[in-house]
């Protein structure tokens, strides 16, 4: 990647865009809501069961101007879900400013492993043992989503739930879903 492009990505004026699509939110509190999904490349958390490992290497995904991402989303929906990868790898200020200027509802799905940037109407926090969330995001999250792969993950889920001002707490085992509250 050219140095100038890398600098724009580091400032959040461009972002490595893996894919974008209009669909129905299939998980969590907003399940059933039509939304435009924006999947940002880049994640170094390293969950072994991750189902989007192709997102990990940001260099594989084209740096895209945030204004283009915003323009695309507004054609489809007034709700956008920013996911990854780990979107907070990057500064989300510029992207979310663009969405908010169009009056959109802006959601994020994040492990919380990096500093919370951007303006969000809904934060779905999904903590991972390998890289814990920053303290700041626990109080700001609207929804907690925990992935349970083995027994110790249940204990971890309970510990994380105790830290969050949660509205909804979802546990996903890898063969189904249980909404706890
Ligand atoms: S945080 Fe998400 S994208 Fe990153 S490795 Fe874990 S499941 Fe995959």
Report residue 10's pLDDT band, with 50, 70 and 90 as the boundaries.
Answer: very high
Distance 114 CA to ligand 1 centre (A): 13
High-pLDDT (> 70) share of the chain, %: 94
Omega prior to 85 cis, within 30 of 0: yes
Distance 43 CA to ligand 1 centre (A): 6
Higher pLDDT, 13 or 151: 13
Evaluate whether 103 touches 78 at the Cβ level (below 8 Å): yes
What residue's CA is closest to ligand 1, atom 8?
50
Higher pLDDT, 58 or 173: 58
For ligand 1, what atom is nearest to the CA of residue 51?
A: 8
DSSP 122-174: EEEE--BTTBPPPHHHHTT-SEEEEEESSHHHHHHHHHHHHHS--SEEEEEET
> Quick one: pLDDT at residue 181?
44
- Is 0.85 topped by the overall pTM? yes
> Quick one: pLDDT at residue 178?
53
């Amino acid at each position: 990647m050219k140095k100038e492009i890398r600098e724009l990505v580091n400032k959040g004026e461009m972002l490595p865009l893996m894919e974008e699509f209009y669909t129905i939110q299939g998980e969590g509190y907003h399940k059933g809501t039509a939304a435009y999904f924006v999947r940002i490349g880049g994640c170094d958390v390293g969950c072994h069961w991750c189902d989007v490992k192709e997102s990990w290497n940001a260099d594989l995904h084209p740096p895209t101007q945030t204004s283009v991402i915003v323009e695309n989303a507004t054609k489809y929906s007034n709700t956008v879900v920013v996911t990854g990868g780990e979107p907070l790898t990057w500064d989300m200020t510029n992207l979310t400013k663009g969405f908010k200027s169009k009056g959109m509802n802006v959601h994020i799905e994040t492990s919380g492993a990096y500093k919370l940037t951007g303006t969000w109407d809904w934060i779905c926090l999904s903590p991972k043992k390998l890289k814990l969330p920053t303290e700041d995001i626990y109080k700001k999250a609207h929804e907690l989503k925990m992935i349970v792969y083995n027994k110790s993950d249940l204990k971890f889920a309970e510990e994380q739930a105790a830290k969050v001002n949660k509205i909804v707490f979802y546990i996903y085992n890898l063969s189904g879903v249980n909404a706890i509250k």
